[in-house]
Amino acid sequence: MEGGGYSSDEDFEVTRPPVFAKREEEEQVDGPSAKKRAKKTATPLPPASKLLVVEKKKDPHAPLGKLNPLETTDEDKRKSVTETSSVRDDQAFEPPTWYYFPKEEIQVEKRYPRDGRGIIFREVDLAEEFKVRYAGTCYSNLKEIRDEGVDLIKRTILDLVSTESLSSPQNIYEDSPEMILTQDEGLSDEQREQLFTAIFDKGGRVPIIDKPGWSLIIHRAPNSGIIHLCVEMIAMHKGTPVYEASRLCTKADCYKYNQTISTDVFPKCSRHQDIKMHSVVKLTPYNEKNLVIQMHVQFGISTNLGSPESDKNYNAELYASIHMSSSRSWIKYYPIKDARPIPEAISMYHYGTVEEALSRLALESTIGMFMKLALGTTPFVNLDDIIPLCYGMEKELDTRLKELGMHLKMRELSPAERMEVTYPFPGQYLLGTQAEKEQKPEKGKSFLYTITSRDMHYFGWSNTPDFKDRLRRGNRTDGANEYKRITEARAKLDGTRAPTVTSSLLAKCDVTDNTQIEAKMIIAGYVAYLLGLRNPLRKLPSGRGYSTNKCVSLSLVDSDSWSDICQFVKLFWGVEPILAKFDKDRGEMPNFIADSENYSDDKVENSEDEDYNPDEDEHNPEAGSSSSGDHSTDSNSDESD
Ligand SMILES: [Zn+2]
Ligand SMILES: [Zn+2]
């Protein structure tokens, strides 16, 4: 899984398809594939014969402070045809199909009212605390990219502008150097014109102060013919130093050059790029015939949402395939650089807002999660790692799973069956036992816990069995803390009482197992959300629970994990999730019709507001444990629907 923003500068150094008009591409004198920008000043200078071609005088049609005539527009990026671009143009390629194919068909015999029930379509607007979240909670790719030498580039430019300045006499400059150096608005058109004149006067190239081998140049991009102010720097190509050009960002007072594009008349760095479209792309290796391999990428680019579909797709696929070829899981799966296939988009979605794109990413990658947990007609490789779980799109998810032949249903356990369910993970299950109260932090051990309220559950692990600080304000921004913060703020506004949020110790394990058990518990909690199960620890009736775990790491689970996940749902909720084979010709009744007839949760959902009794709002640890014959609030309240 990749999403949210831009990868680091280093990401872009890996197997870049040459057609993509990023800064390094067409600029190397001796070939398109040199990647490494020199980091050490010790790098020997390339011979002068390898210097890039520079412009010697200004285009007479370019207006004041500009290098290109006014009518110059961003170049059509489809100019050159390469191996990669023909792959992208190959509409005939289709990846192998995948269809759910369980080892045995499971029949659900109807014994209890809920038996055979599937995903509950909630059909309500998701409350803030239940929304899909990704960046900020468990993904931090948005870190600022630090360009090398930016301060020196700025100094050189301001030096050129002020020295060549016609209007400011020398003594004013010397008396008050801040006048220019603190100009946060950047250069005016007049000052930019002075800058260009100064560079042209020196032959189109000016050395950057204190940066040997680096120069400011005015350079025409070979493909697009657009002229830019660039930094000429040294890069290594097959062990040989070469010169390459990076366009400077044209945003006022920005002297960065990362991810500026040669086909833009006014290139912008990653920070100043004007994001107009958010895309989600599903990629697969081109010409893979035996496996279904997929990965999702989400990002924002400067293409207009109103552009023709073909342009949007072209630009998005270009960006996505580059992003994918630099992603960790892609490189891990294809360790040999020269043998890496070209990524090909199999689906693309474009949106005006990042929230819409994130919902799409969550839906697509959650379906990928179920494919990874199930067995299919074709071997499946999911290269997504940490994915955002999909909330509020139960109907879409159900439909898509059924299209793949998967029908998520449930079966209620009888009291006798519940007695027999054992904890499926390594370590010790503590909930409802005497040992639960005796736990202390222990070297080499981790503790698994759940945080619950009348309408949510969250799973995690900790180094301590003591949760007194777990939900302290400002401590963390995970789904459980955010739930508490948001519901408390809302209750304060409404003058109501916020839901009670309780942390409960579940189990102990070796530290080496903590993340894997946690991932399976998170998925169990997610399945419980889809099936509309209720908090089994609460004595009072509860509403259908939402999972507030926002992400899960798919690299920690595979098709063997599903039975463990189901067993944990059985243990905790007393319900067995079933991934039945869905046959669309069988003409099954949609879940929604069957469930909505008796959907009468209002009274239950409001239990804390209406007749709140603090003594009763204690979690009942016994209810969730297998040793209890008590049928728990979950199933009791469900009998009415
Ligand atoms: Zn910038
Ligand atoms: Zn990435």
Spatial separation of the C-alpha atoms in residues 332 and 466, rounded to whole Å: 38
Cα 486 to chain centroid distance, Å, stands at 23
Give a yes or no: residue 527 inside a domain: yes
pLDDT for 377: 94
Give a yes or no: residue 290 inside a domain: no
**pLDDT for residue 181 is more than 80:** no
Q: Which of 247, 274, 300 is the last residue of a domain?
A: 247
Q: Which of 199, 214, 247 is the last residue of a domain?
A: 247
Give a yes or no: residue 546 inside a domain: yes
pLDDT for 140: 32
Q: Over the stretch 24-47, which tens digit does the pLDDT of each residue have?
A: 333 333 333 334 443 444 668 888
Distance 594 CA to ligand 1 centre (A): 55
Local confidence band at 222 (pLDDT 50, 70, 90 cut-offs): confident
Give the ligand at the shortest distance from the Cα of 385: 2
pLDDT for 145: 52
Question: Helices (H), strands (E): how many in the chain?
Answer: 18, 18
Give a yes or no: residue 78 inside a domain: yes
Greater confidence, 88 or 348? 348
Q: Over the stretch 253-262, which tens digit does the pLDDT of each residue have?
A: 899 987 777 7
Distance 368 CA to ligand 2 centre (A): 18
Distance 320 CA to ligand 2 centre (A): 9
Alpha carbons within 13 A on the beta-carbon side of 63: 5
pLDDT for 78: 47
**In the block, residue with structure tokens 């990647």:** 35
Distance 580 CA to ligand 2 centre (A): 35
pLDDT for 229: 96
Give the ligand at the shortest distance from the Cα of 256: 1
Distance 6 CA to ligand 2 centre (A): 7
Number of structural domains found in the chain: 2
Give the ligand at the shortest distance from the Cα of 264: 1
ipTM: 0.60
Q: In the numeric block, which tokens belong to residue 404?
A: 């793949």
Give a yes or no: residue 438 inside a domain: yes
Residues in Cβ contact with 559 at an 8 Å cutoff, skipping those fewer than 6 apart: 372, 373, 374, 375
What's 298's DSSP letter?
A: E
Q: Over the stretch 118-145, which tens digit does the pLDDT of each residue have?
A: 999 998 999 999 999 885 333 333 334 5
Instruction: Of 295-304, 318-327, 388-397, give the lowest mean pLDDT range.
Output: 318-327
Over the chain, what is the mean pLDDT? 79
Give a yes or no: residue 489 inside a domain: yes
Give the ligand at the shortest distance from the Cα of 295: 2
- Strand 343-351 relative to strand 277-285, pairing: antiparallel
**pLDDT for residue 114 is more than 60:** yes
Give the ligand at the shortest distance from the Cα of 139: 2
Give a yes or no: residue 11 inside a domain: no
Greater confidence, 341 or 348? 348
Q: Which of 247, 262, 280 is the last residue of a domain?
A: 247
**DSSP state string for 621-633:** HHHHSTT----HH
Q: Over the stretch 536-581, which tens digit does the pLDDT of each residue have?
A: 999 899 999 999 999 999 999 999 999 999 999 999 999 999 999 9
pLDDT for 318: 80
Local confidence band at 587 (pLDDT 50, 70, 90 cut-offs): low
Q: What are phi and psi of 47, to 5 degrees?
A: -60, 150
Distance 144 CA to ligand 1 centre (A): 11
Give the ligand at the shortest distance from the Cα of 153: 1
Structural domain containing residue 183: 23-83+144-247
Q: Over the stretch 359-368, which tens digit does the pLDDT of each residue have?
A: 999 999 999 9
Spatial separation of the C-alpha atoms in residues 341 and 338, rounded to whole Å: 8
Q: In the numeric block, which tokens belong to residue 593?
A: 């019709």
Give a yes or no: residue 210 inside a domain: yes
pLDDT for 474: 72
pLDDT for 263: 74
